C-alpha cells in the first residue's frame, strides 16, 4: 500500500557519550559523560520559549480525492492506441544518436520505452519531441544537447546531439476503476470495500498532517537556535575523523537500503552535498544539545529506558529492540533518549505567534 509521508529535511541533533554507569533499580540513573567541554566550541543561543508560526497542514477538501487518483495511477496500465502520441503516453521506439556526425552507441537503443512527461529520459526535450508521432513514423530530432554535468562520458557533456528515431508503437494510459474489488486486491484483502479503504487513506492523511506540522515547528525552532548559537573554534580533529567514519558507515547503510547514490541521499534527507558538511553539522548539534541536556539536568532512568526502548528503536528505523541495542550499544541508546528529551524540552516550551 502507498505511503503518504512527505519527505522533510529535518535537522536531527545527535548526542555523544563515552561512559555509562548503569544502576540496578528502575529509578537508577544512567549517567553520560562527555569527552569535550561543549561550551568551549559552541556558544549556546536561546533555546527555550522560542516563537514559531503555526502553519496549517490540516487535511483539506479534495485531498482524499487527489490521493485516490495517486493510488489508481500506481496501478495504471497501458493499452495500444491507434493515434498520435500525447502527454502521458508510453512510446516504444528505436533510435540512433549522432554527435558531430559520429554515431554514439551509448545513446542508441532498440524497442526503448519512453513515458512522455515523466522527465526520465536523460536528454531534455526528447520526450516532448515525440508528441504527435504515430506508430510507423520516423523523424530526426535536432536542437538537443547532452547535459553539461554528464559524467559518464565527459567529452559529450554540453554538446549538440541528433536522434534518428522510428516509432514502433504508442500506448495510452488506462486507470483502473476504483471499486471494492480493486481495493481488496491492492490491500491483499485487508480492506474489502471502497469506504473502508477511504477511511484508511484519510487516517494516513491526518497522520501525515500531524507529522508535517511537527516537522515545520521543529525546523523553525532549530533554525533559530542555529542562528543564535556561535561556533567558537574548530572542532577537535580526532573527533571529526571519528565522526566522519560513523557518518560514512551510516550513509553506506542507507544508500544501500534506499538504492540511492551518496549525493542523492545527502541532498534528499539533509539538503547537503558532502559528508564533510554533514559531519560538521552533526558535531555542531551534538555540542549544542550537550549543553541543553546539562542546563536542563536531563536524565534517563532505568524505568524510562525500559518504557521508551521500543519507541526509540522504531524512530531510528531498526527492526526490533535487540538489533537496535546490538548496533548502537546501550550507551548509544541512552544518548539518543537524552537527545529526544532535549528536543521535547525545546518543542514544549515554544510559543505560537
Per DSSP bridges, beta strands 102-103 and 90-99 are antiparallel
The tens place of each residue's pLDDT in the chain, 353 residues long, gives 443 433 444 444 443 333 333 445 667 888 777 889 999 999 999 999 999 999 999 999 999 999 999 999 999 999 999 999 999 999 999 999 999 999 998 889 999 999 999 999 989 999 999 999 999 999 999 999 999 888 777 888 899 999 999 999 999 999 999 999 999 999 999 999 999 999 999 999 999 999 999 999 999 999 999 999 999 999 999 999 999 998 999 899 889 988 888 999 999 999 998 999 999 999 999 999 999 999 999 999 999 999 999 999 998 888 899 999 998 888 889 989 999 999 999 999 999 99
Q: What is the C-alpha to C-alpha distance for residues 269 and 273, in angstroms, rounded to an integer?
A: 11
Record the pTM: 0.74
**What is the per-residue pLDDT for 266?**
93
According to DSSP, residue 236 is labeled P
Q: By the 8 A CB rule, do 176 and 77 touch?
A: yes
Q: How many CA atoms lie within 13 Å of 283's alpha carbon, on the beta-carbon side?
A: 29
pLDDT of residue 35: 85
Would you state the CATH architecture of domain 77-174?
Roll (3.10)
| pLDDT in the model for residue 319 | 86
Supply the pLDDT for residue 25: 60
What is the CB neighbour count within 10 angstroms for residue 123? 17
Among 306, 328, 307, smallest CA distance to 317 is for 328
* Domain locations along the chain: 19-45+229-352, 77-174
* Nearest partner of 231 among 193, 273, 274, 281, judged by Cα: 281
Asked if 191 and 320 touch (Cβ cutoff 8 Å), the reply is: no
Give the distance between the most distant pair of CA atoms in the chain.
79
CB atoms within 10 A of CB 135: 19
pLDDT tens-digit readout, 167-203: 999 999 999 999 999 999 999 999 999 999 999 999 9
Helix, strand, coil % in the chain, rounded to nearest 5: 45, 20, 35
Taking the C-alpha atoms of residue 256 and residue 270, their distance in angstroms, rounded to an integer, is 17
Distance CA 225, CA 220 (A): 9
Amino acid at each position: 500500500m502507498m505511503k503518504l509521508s512527505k519527505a522533510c529535511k529535518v535537522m536531527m541533533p545527535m548526542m555523544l557519550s563515552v561512559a555509562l554507569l548503569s544502576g540496578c533499580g528502575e529509578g537508577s540513573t544512567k549517567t553520560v559523560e562527555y569527552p569535550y567541554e561543549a561550551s568551549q566550541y559552541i556558544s549556546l543561543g536561546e533555546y527555550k520559549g522560542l516563537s514559531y508560526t503555526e502553519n496549517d497542514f490540516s487535511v483539506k477538501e479534495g485531498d482524499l480525492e487527489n490521493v485516490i487518483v495517486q493510488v489508481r495511477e500506481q496501478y495504471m496500465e497501458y493499452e495500444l492506441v491507434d493515434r498520435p502520441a500525447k502527454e502521458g503516453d508510453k512510446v516504444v521506439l528505436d533510435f540512433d544518436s549522432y554527435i558531430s556526425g559520429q554515431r554514439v552507441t551509448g545513446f542508441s537503443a532498440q524497442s526503448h520505452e519512453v513515458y512522455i512527461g515523466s522527465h526520465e529520459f536523460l536528454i531534455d526535450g526528447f520526450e516532448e519531441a515525440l508528441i504527435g508521432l504515430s506508430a510507423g513514423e520516423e523523424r530526426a530530432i535536432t536542437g538537443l544537447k547532452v547535459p553539461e554535468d554528464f559524467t559518464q562520458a565527459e567529452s559529450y557533456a554540453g554538446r549538440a546531439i541528433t536522434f534518428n528515431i522510428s516509432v514502433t508503437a504508442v500506448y495510452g494510459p488506462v486507470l483502473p476503476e476504483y471499486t471494492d474489488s480493486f481495493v481488496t486486491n491492492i490491500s491483499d484483502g485487508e480492506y474489502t470495500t471502497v469506504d473502508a479503504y477511504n477511511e484508511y487513506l484519510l487516517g494516513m492523511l491526518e497522520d501525515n498532517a500531524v507529522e508535517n506540522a511537527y516537522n515545520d515547528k521543529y525546523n523553525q525552532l532549530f533554525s533559530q537556535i542555529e542562528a543564535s548559537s556561535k561556533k567558537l573554534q574548530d572542532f577537535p580533529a580526532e573527533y571529526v575523523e571519528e565522526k566522519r567514519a560513523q557518518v560514512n558507515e551510516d550513509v553506506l547503510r542507507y544508500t544501500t537500503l534506499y538504492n540511492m547514490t551518496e549525493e542523492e541521499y545527502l541532498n534528499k534527507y539533509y539538503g547537503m552535498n558532502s559528508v564533510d558538511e554533514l559531519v560538521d553539522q552533526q558535531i555542531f548539534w551534538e555540542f549544542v544539545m550537550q549543553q541543553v541536556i546539562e542546563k536542563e539536568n536531563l536524565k534517563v532512568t532505568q524505568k524510562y529506558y525500559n518504557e521508551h526502548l521500543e519507541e526509540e528503536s522504531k524512530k531510528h528505523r531498526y527492526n526490533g529492540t535487540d538489533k537496535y541495542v546490538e548496533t548502537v550499544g546501550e550507551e548509544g541508546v541512552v544518548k539518543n533518549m537524552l537527545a529526544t528529551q532535549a528536543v521535547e524540552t525545546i518543542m514544549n516550551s515554544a510559543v505560537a505567534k
